[in-house]
């Protein structure tokens, strides 16, 4: 497993993390999958209070060290006291003394961002969280959130990003690269739609590229994000065998020519949406 730096923090995260959205259907198997990822060198696991998966993560990471755990506060809890209470509840559910990355899950225009960020900085000062991130924020929303911080910097923005959902390429990716804010890409496999018959030609192309590297089409599609630079994909970890395959998406790079050919194909067929 290779590692990349999170924002300006100097913290080294595995090139891919593990997402936990919609886990819970098979807890024992999902815990096994998360542990398989950890044993393979993944040190980054993402969850959220609204997912209801923090207790699963707690069981998976029990007794493990040197992990980077991220969770999110729901936008309905963005008032000052609510942020503090939500963090305490997440700490208890996760069974940890502090949260490595605490993220604002979605923007909430009904709550002043200054109030929310004041609470986030209180949590940093109290040692309950280490880093502040956002999720699903536009460039303007990121700028407003950063301006509201007095002593800390936003280190990441978690957004949906895949071969089929390329909206981050319409300005956000460039902004984050310039500001040294990491993009955390959720649903990097387009929620499984990359396997749909509608995209059979794309899958065939990825398969052909994969053969040159001894990789699967799934591994190529995740590596495409890694190869963009400043992007950490967090595919969902539900099955052990799937996680082991995902681990194979890290530790190598598509060539510039391969990236160019994939991007040209995507622009001519699926486009950004």
Question: What beta strand segments (E) does the chain contain?
Answer: 3-5, 12-14, 44-46, 68-73, 99-104, 129-135, 154-160, 182-186, 231-233
Task: Check if 161 is active-site.
Answer: no
Report how far residue 139's alpha carbon sits from residue 178's, in angstroms, rounded to the nearest whole number.
12
- pLDDT number for residue 272: 39
Statement: residue 192 has pLDDT above 90 = no
CA-nearest of 176, 180, 157, 135 to 7 is: 180
Q: What is the mean pLDDT of residues 232-243?
A: 94
Confidence of residue 106 (pLDDT cuts 50, 70, 90): very high
Statement: residue 249 has pLDDT above 80 = yes
Annotated catalytic residue: which of 3, 51, 102, 186?
Answer: 51
Statement: residue 196 has pLDDT above 90 = no
Report how far residue 242's alpha carbon sits from residue 236's, in angstroms, rounded to the nearest whole number.
9
Confidence of residue 3 (pLDDT cuts 50, 70, 90): very high
- pLDDT number for residue 273: 39
Residues recorded for the chain: 273
pLDDT tens digits for range 56-77? 999 999 999 999 999 999 999 9
Q: What is the mean pLDDT of residues 85-114?
A: 98
User: Are 209 and 220 contacting, i.e. CB atoms less than 8 angstroms apart?
Assistant: yes
pLDDT tens digits for range 154-176? 999 999 999 999 999 999 999 99
Report how far residue 215's alpha carbon sits from residue 204's, in angstroms, rounded to the nearest whole number.
13
């Amino acid at each position: 497993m290779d590692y990349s730096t999170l924002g300006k923090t100097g913290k080294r995260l595995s090139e891919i993390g593990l997402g936990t959205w919609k886990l819970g259907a098979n807890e024992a198997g999902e815990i096994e999958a998360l542990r398989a990822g950890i044993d393979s060198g993944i040190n980054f696991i993402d969850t959220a209070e609204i997912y209801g998966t923090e207790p699963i993560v707690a069981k998976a990471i029990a007794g493990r060290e040197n992990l980077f755990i991220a969770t999110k506060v729901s936008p309905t809890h963005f008032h000052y006291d609510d942020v503090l209470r939500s963090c305490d509840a997440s700490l208890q559910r996760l069974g940890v003394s502090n949260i490595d990355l605490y993220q604002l899950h979605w923007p909430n225009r009904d709550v002043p961002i200054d109030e929310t960020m004041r609470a986030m900085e209180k949590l940093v000062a109290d040692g309950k969280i280490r880093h502040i991130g956002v999720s699903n924020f536009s460039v303007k929303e990121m700028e407003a959130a950063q301006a509201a911080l007095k002593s800390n910097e936003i280190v990441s923005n978690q957004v949906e990003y895949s071969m089929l959902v390329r909206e981050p390429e319409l300005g956000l990716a460039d902004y984050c690269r310039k500001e040294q804010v990491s993009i955390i890409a959720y649903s990097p496999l387009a929620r499984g739609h990359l396997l749909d018959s509608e995209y059979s030609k794309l899958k065939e192309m990825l398969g052909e590229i994969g053969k040159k590297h001894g990789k699967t089409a799934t591994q190529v599609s995740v590596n495409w994000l890694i190869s963009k630079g400043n992007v950490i994909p967090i595919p969902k970890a539900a099955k052990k065998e799937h996680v082991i395959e995902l681990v194979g998406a890290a530790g190598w790079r598509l060539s510039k020519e391969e990236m160019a050919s994939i991007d040209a194909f995507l622009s001519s067929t699926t486009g950004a949406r």
